[in-house]
Amino acid sequence: MGPPAEGRSRSLGTVPRVSRSSDPGAGAVSAPDEPSDRIGKASADQIGTVVPDRLIVTPEPLPRRLWRRCQAVSTAGRYVAVLALASATVAVLLRHNLFPYLSVNNDEVIYLLHARTLADGHLFPSAPDPAASYAPWLAAISGDHFVLKYTPFVPGLFALGLMLTGSVSPVLAVIAAAAVIVTYLLGVELAGERRVAALAATLLAFSPLAIVQSALVLSYLPVLVLMELTFLGLLRGLRAGGLRAGGPSDGGRRSARRGGRALAGAGLAVGVAVAVRPYDVVLLLGPVAVWGIVTARRSGRLGWALRWTAAGLVLPAAILLASNAAATGSPFRLPFALLESDDKLGFGVRRLYPSDGGHDFGLGDGLASVGDHLWLLGGWACGGVVLAVAAIVAAARRRLNGPGYALGVGTVLFVVGYIGFWGAWNAAELWGGIRYVGPFYLMPVLIGLVHLGARGLVDLAGWSRRRAARAVTGVCAAGVVGLTTFVLVGAIDANATMTDHDRDLAAMLRALPGRSLVLVAASPPYLGHPSGVTTNGADLDGADGDGPLLFAVSRGVADLEVVADHPDRTPYLLRMPPAYNRSPGSVTRSRVDALTVATGRTVGVEVSVDAPPRGTRAAQLVFEAGGVRLTYPVSANGPVTARLTLDADGLDTDDVTEVVIYGGGETRGSPAGVATGRPAGRAKITKVPGAGTSVTVSLLATPASGGRARTVDRQVIPVLAEDPSGADAGGTEPGDVAVLAPSAHVDETGQGPRPAVRIALS
């Protein structure tokens, strides 16, 4: 379109809307959606005989403009809008009703704590002394603060919701709706058909994996949205700015600017996605990036495309480098590996945290873990297997374009690449939580499944004119609906059961009188694991925000320091089983005891030990402190009691007395016991690595099926010895000891047997 003709009114040619309320014929001058160049063609009769010196410009009211745009939306677009609203509603409902105490994926604790910290105006949560006693799940200690495991982009998104509304629920709703809408928009660009795009959005929205993850404070669904936005921006940018036919005209320049903005948006989205989950982005979008580079080069616009994309990358790259420098001291080191350097890609010995026993991760383990994830994805993706087959058929029939094939290659590469990622093996084999919150590591695979599968399904619908084809289509549809419903209902039921466990635990803790200090004895030694109930706020002001509960990790002698730092709080010990909420049927019996600090030259405690689990061939009662281990053989089918005297001169056989075994079984050749109990045999004394005066009491059991002895339960008694220089002048007498031990049983809740080892002050 060239410049306006000389005879046209120049002022009218630039006015988008013209209204003359005093002119009866004004309605004929400008329709609401009439192009501005047509206004310039109005005749003098239409405008009036007198040309006014000044035209009155009245912008269209916003409600009318929005209503007009809504009317212009296609039927498929309206359907997707309703679907997005439904997805957002479901996300909020699940968040408040199914996951009010967070899910079994304790990484939610990290993201939520990080979001609260950012919302409070801080980069990192504070870490008062002793810092390890207040460490959140997988947090590293750096000076006076904790460094959390992940970059601040996704937590920053949730922090925005906290600052604006006081809740993360609106952010979850926006992410869920965005996932549906962006999937539809990408489908329109990718397939060129609205019905294919709408089907892809529907498949994503009804996938149990997307439904469950939409209610969790995690990064998997946000990164899916970011990767789709990257792909969408790339397609729109290359389409709008990749043709040189526009030339130097105004239309060509506008198209180039639109394309540049789309590519900048793609750069922004991929920059954030790389900062959050770099491995996922490289695997899935690597082939897409190669296709984009080749396409831009063929059109002669490669430099232009790279400049615009790089412009979008600047902001996330700057934030990432700055946050890395603040967290790790190096702009090029992510906080992910700050806690444990062996938590990385590749095969070998892997650990999640420093005290984690090394796990030998090999190729067979990687294949098994990916197989488990794919098996679950068959049901957690709406129409998983059917979508995969439909996508393969569509690719074989050459029904995909270049971007579609690039997406397919990226999807396959993603699955293959995860064979070398030990985190997927940990989630599938060691932890097993993917059975209840879905195979979340394969969330990006949904992008390829729903888009390419939707293309194949629409083609299949076109073939279904014959009766046999319609029957096959109906059977497949019924199978997809049935399997999706089965998986979703099962996931909701399992998570509801585990949420009930957390609800009972929270109710027991909230029932504690006054201001309480709860020392959590759980393995591994972090707060927020295995339950998000045991989590402090960012400022250590208690779990509920108003300060009635303050949690700390039970770590032995450091517990005495924690108790001394909070004289206004009543100390309690919370004991949780290591397998708490590992499954709906796992042992969750948790116990709360009141703690008392006892001092003196000697402090006596009573030790009670329940019978080991059934199927035990032999059992041992073990006392360990300061590098000394005392091992007593006990009955495999009866309880044990003992008296332990704690003093400052370390652990020896004289400190353990009155070890009485109850039960009728033989233990290591000892004679059968009687109903009233019998004394245990002599202790086996061994030297082990260790130091300090705190005593660990453990029950070990050897299975009848063979194998090594395993720890059934253990409890640590914090003991602090007084400096002997404060004793008599000769310094030959030991000083006093301070012992933190349970003085009364308060409450317990959960299912399964109670903790086997119990300690009480004499």
222-263 pLDDT, tens digit each: 999 999 999 999 999 999 875 444 455 666 778 888 999 999
Pair (561, 638) in one structural domain: no
Query: Is 645:715 a contact under the CB 8 Å cutoff?
Result: no
Q: How far is CA 329 from the centre of its chain?
A: 25
Q: Is 519 inside any structural domain?
A: yes
Query: Is 532:119 a contact under the CB 8 Å cutoff?
Result: no
Pair (569, 594) in one structural domain: no
Tell me how far apart the alpha carbons of residues 199 and 210 are, in angstroms, rounded to a whole number: 15
Phi then psi dihedrals of residue 754, to 5 deg: -75, 165
Closest CA to 244 of 186, 305, 311, 190: 305
Sign of CA dihedral 327, 333, 337, 341: negative
Tell me how far apart the alpha carbons of residues 475 and 585 are, in angstroms, rounded to a whole number: 35
pLDDT digits (tens, 9 = 90+) for 730-755: 555 668 999 999 999 999 999 999 99
Tell me how far apart the alpha carbons of residues 595 and 572 are, in angstroms, rounded to a whole number: 5
Q: Is 335 inside any structural domain?
A: no
Rounded alpha-carbon distances, angstroms, from residue 220 to 289, 327, 388: 21, 22, 21
Sign of CA dihedral 124, 130, 134, 135: positive
Pair (612, 570) in one structural domain: no
Closest CA to 326 of 539, 143, 109: 143
pLDDT at 13 over 60: no
What would you report as the CA-atom Rg of the chain, rounded to the nearest whole angstrom?
33
Last residue of a domain, one of 526, 543, 575: 575
Pair (560, 693) in one structural domain: no
Task: State the pLDDT at residue 678.
Answer: 73
Task: Locate all alpha helices (DSSP H) within 106-245, ordered by sequence.
Answer: 107-119, 153-165, 169-191, 194-205, 208-213, 220-241
Domain count, the chain: 3
pLDDT at 47 over 60: no
Burial (Cβ within 10 Å: 0-12, 13-18, ≥19) of residue 194: middle
What is the pTM for the complete model shown? 0.87
Q: Which residues, other chains included, contact 561 with Cβ-Cβ below 8 Å and sequence gap of 6+? A: 129, 130, 133
Identify residue 528 by its one-letter amino acid code. G
Task: State the pLDDT at residue 57.
Answer: 61
Tokens for 541? Answer: 């002001």
Q: Which residues of 534-551 are buried (b: 16+ CB within 10 A; e: fewer)?
A: bbbbbebebbeeeebbbb
Last residue of a domain, one of 43, 64, 85: 64
Task: State the pLDDT at residue 732.
Answer: 55
Average pLDDT of the residues in 618-639 = 91
Q: Are strands 140-142 and 145-147 parallel, antiparallel or unpaired?
A: antiparallel
Pair (743, 675) in one structural domain: yes
Task: State the pLDDT at residue 460.
Answer: 85
- Residue located via tokens 């444990």: 340
Please work out, in degrees rounded to the nearest 5, the angle formed at the alpha carbon of residue 200 by the alpha carbons of 199 and 205. 95
Task: State the pLDDT at residue 64.
Answer: 81
For 272-361, where are the E strands, in sequence order? 348-350, 359-361
Q: Is 615 inside any structural domain?
A: yes
User: Which strand (E) or helix (H) includes residue 408?
Assistant: helix 402-417
pLDDT digits (tens, 9 = 90+) for 451-505: 999 999 998 887 766 677 777 778 888 999 999 999 999 999 999 999 999 999 9
Tell me how far apart the alpha carbons of residues 216 and 105 are, in angstroms, rounded to a whole number: 9
Q: Is 21 inside any structural domain?
A: yes
Tell me how far apart the alpha carbons of residues 402 and 413 are, in angstroms, rounded to a whole number: 16
Tell me how far apart the alpha carbons of residues 233 and 400 are, in angstroms, rounded to a whole number: 19
Q: Is 111 inside any structural domain?
A: no
Closest CA to 528 of 298, 163, 64, 217: 217
Q: Is 752 inside any structural domain?
A: yes
Give me the chain's average pLDDT, please: 87
Q: Which residues, other chains included, contact 67 with Cβ-Cβ below 8 Å and sequence gap of 6+? A: none
Pair (706, 604) in one structural domain: yes
Tell me how far apart the alpha carbons of residues 183 and 631 are, in angstroms, rounded to a whole number: 62
pLDDT-derived band at 44 (thresholds 50, 70, 90) equals very low
Average pLDDT of the residues in 169-185 = 98
pLDDT digits (tens, 9 = 90+) for 120-160: 999 999 999 999 999 999 999 999 999 999 999 999 999 99
Phi then psi dihedrals of residue 664, to 5 deg: -100, 5
Pair (569, 620) in one structural domain: no
Task: State the pLDDT at residue 27.
Answer: 38
Structural domain containing residue 51? 12-64
* CB atoms inside a 10 Å sphere around CB 184: 27
> With left for phi above 0 and alpha for psi between -120 and 50, is residue 329 left, alpha or beta?
left
Q: Is 503 inside any structural domain?
A: no
Query: Is 575:150 a contact under the CB 8 Å cutoff?
Result: no
Tell me how far apart the alpha carbons of residues 473 and 350 are, in angstroms, rounded to a whole number: 46
Task: State the pLDDT at residue 658.
Answer: 86
Q: Is 370 inside any structural domain?
A: no
pLDDT-derived band at 52 (thresholds 50, 70, 90) equals low
Query: Is 201:187 a contact under the CB 8 Å cutoff?
Result: yes
Tell me how far apart the alpha carbons of residues 403 and 406 are, in angstroms, rounded to a whole number: 5
Pair (638, 748) in one structural domain: yes
Pair (598, 564) in one structural domain: no
Tell me how far apart the alpha carbons of residues 757 and 762 are, in angstroms, rounded to a whole number: 16
Pair (558, 656) in one structural domain: no
Q: Which residues of 426-444 are buried (b: 16+ CB within 10 A; e: fewer)?
A: bbbeebebbbbbbbbbbbb
Query: Is 411:473 a contact under the CB 8 Å cutoff?
Result: no
Pair (737, 599) in one structural domain: yes
pLDDT-derived band at 8 (thresholds 50, 70, 90) equals very low
Last residue of a domain, one of 64, 80, 104: 64
Range in 220-234, 306-320, 455-469, 567-581 the model is least confident about: 455-469
Task: State the pLDDT at residue 72.
Answer: 83
Pair (520, 665) in one structural domain: no
pLDDT digits (tens, 9 = 90+) for 506-561: 999 999 999 999 999 988 999 999 999 999 987 665 544 457 899 999 999 999 99
